[in-house]
Amino acid sequence: MNKRSFLIIFLPMTAFILGIGLSVFYFKSTATNTPLTKPQPQNPYTAFIQESYQIIQNNYWNKLDDKTLIKLFAAAAEKLTGQPQTANLKYTQAGFNKQLQKWLDNVPADKRKNFTAKMLDMVLTSLPPSGRSRLYVKKDELALKNQVENKAQTDFYQLLDIDKNTNPQVVKQKYQQKKQQLEKQKTPQAKTKLRQLDKAYQTIIDPDSKKRYQQTKIATTVEGQLVAPSILHLRINRFSPTTLEDLKRVARKFDQGDKLDTLILDLRDNIGGAIDGLPYFLGPFIGPNQYAYEFLHQGDKEPYKTKLGWLPSLVRYKKIIILINGGTQSSAEVFASVLKKYNVGVLVGQKTKGWGTIERVFPIKNQIDSSQKYSIFLVHRLTLREDGQPIEGRGVEPVIDITNPNWQKQLYQYIPDQQIISAVNKIWQE
């Protein structure tokens, strides 16, 4: 091989090898080199507030623009610091983030967690309707869960002064004795104890609900009593995940003979509860696949239909009266308004409480305390009554107002049966 031929082969090969080497060096160096400045981790307090800000804006029942929400945070900061906080405040998320950092920088490090939690709770509390939304800790979530599930907070056996093996006749005697003692006292405290006593008795006296109580501490939500051979007084004291089961159980118990044809459905002092169950609770009264009610969320109405059909043990009732009062609230108000809309019986009593909000717990990912888990309890939707208006602040009006001196005559026009009217009057007075 001559010198020229050698150069022709050697030089290209050398360039190729050098190119590979340089490429490997380049990729290796770029893969291992780190930026000159590392991104700093986000301040946990600002991350906590910023995430909460988005949760509120995305999930609150009403639309909130940045200006409205930022003003609420500024007002909370003013109360906590005692200093005006709106000067030069820009009502954009970028402006809010900058101001938020200034607020936190001016708070001693050991007090920032408390400042952050208090500020957010004050903002939530101020959202209309005021006081309904709150910052929750784990114990609040647990208490809410127990309330929704209707778990008894007192020992029913101790309340009735019995044990698990006491026979039903003795249970009834104990109940009557304690009931008479409380009725004589005529105080608000005695009235509260009497309601607890009634719930304990109704739960323990029925074998099925007694068994469930012993296993889960869940009390019954439906109570039934014959006030005449043709009249059943059915009381629903709240709505829980077990209410439909309770309704079926109690209705079956009285579904016998051919005289029973009148139902007095009592929703007085029903505090509401598990609103997700309404499509199931309402089906037995208005039929399957019926448009029952609507919720309101950020300007949009959301319709809900029934998911169950008629309940055979309720079909027998041809005359129905629904009792409501100022203690009827939340999902019980929706229930009453739907029965009114579909003309299921006659709504008798007083205007309901007007508590027409649906709350939901939203978890927060960015926590400020490793030993304490925070979440947001937020008004998520408003309930609407039969005329499409929000129940909140308005309530549900009865067809017959029992405070009217002529209410019995008015009811007689709907149900011309004096025995039924007398039964309604007696139940209302009791």
Per-residue pLDDT tens digits for 78-110: 999 988 877 677 889 899 999 999 999 999 999
Give one DSSP letter per residue of 366-387, joined into a string. Answer: S-S-TT--EEEEEEEEEEB-TT
Domain co-membership, 83 together with 232: no
CB neighbours of residue 287 within 10 Å: 14
15 domain residue, yes or no? no
**Alpha-carbon distance values, 187 to 147, 160, 193 (Å):** 25, 20, 10
- For the chain, give the percent of residues with pLDDT over 90: 66
Domain co-membership, 185 together with 257: no
Domain co-membership, 95 together with 160: no
Q: Which of 218, 243, 275 is the last residue of a domain?
A: 218
Give the pLDDT score at 142.
84
Domain co-membership, 198 together with 228: no
Q: Tell how strand 374-383 and strand 134-137 pair up.
A: antiparallel
**Alpha-carbon distance values, 18 to 13, 14, 24, 243, 292 (Å):** 9, 6, 10, 81, 79
Q: Which of 218, 244, 268 is the last residue of a domain?
A: 218
58 domain residue, yes or no? yes
Domain co-membership, 289 together with 413: yes
The CATH code of the domain that includes 204 is 1.10.287.110
- Interaxial angle between packed helices 112-126 and 93-105, expressed in degrees from 0 to 180 and rounded to the nearest 10: 140
8 domain residue, yes or no? no
Domain co-membership, 368 together with 234: yes
Give the pLDDT score at 183.
85
197 domain residue, yes or no? yes
Higher pLDDT, 36 or 162: 162
Domain co-membership, 186 together with 316: no
Domain co-membership, 378 together with 360: yes
392 domain residue, yes or no? yes
Q: Which of 167, 197, 218 is the last residue of a domain?
A: 218
Domain co-membership, 119 together with 233: no
Domain count, the chain: 3
Domain co-membership, 316 together with 352: yes
Give the pLDDT score at 84.
82
254 domain residue, yes or no? yes
> What span, in angstroms and rounded, lies between the C-alpha atoms of 154 and 217?
9
**Alpha-carbon distance values, 131 to 66, 81, 134, 367 (Å):** 21, 22, 7, 23
Higher pLDDT, 264 or 7: 264
Give me the domain span that covers residue 155: 151-218
11 domain residue, yes or no? no
The CATH code of the domain that includes 225 is 3.90.226.10
Say how many residues make up the chain.
430
166 CB burial (10 A radius; 0-12, 13-18, 19+): middle
Is the pLDDT assigned to residue 3 strictly greater than 50? Answer: no
166-180 pLDDT, tens digit per residue, is 988 988 998 899 888
Domain co-membership, 288 together with 374: yes
Domain co-membership, 194 together with 268: no
Pick the range with the lowest mean pLDDT from 19-33, 141-155, 232-246, 314-328. Answer: 19-33
405 domain residue, yes or no? yes
Is the pLDDT assigned to residue 140 strictly greater than 60? Answer: yes
Give the pLDDT score at 43.
86
Max intra-chain CA distance, the chain: 131
Is the pLDDT assigned to residue 27 strictly greater than 80? Answer: no
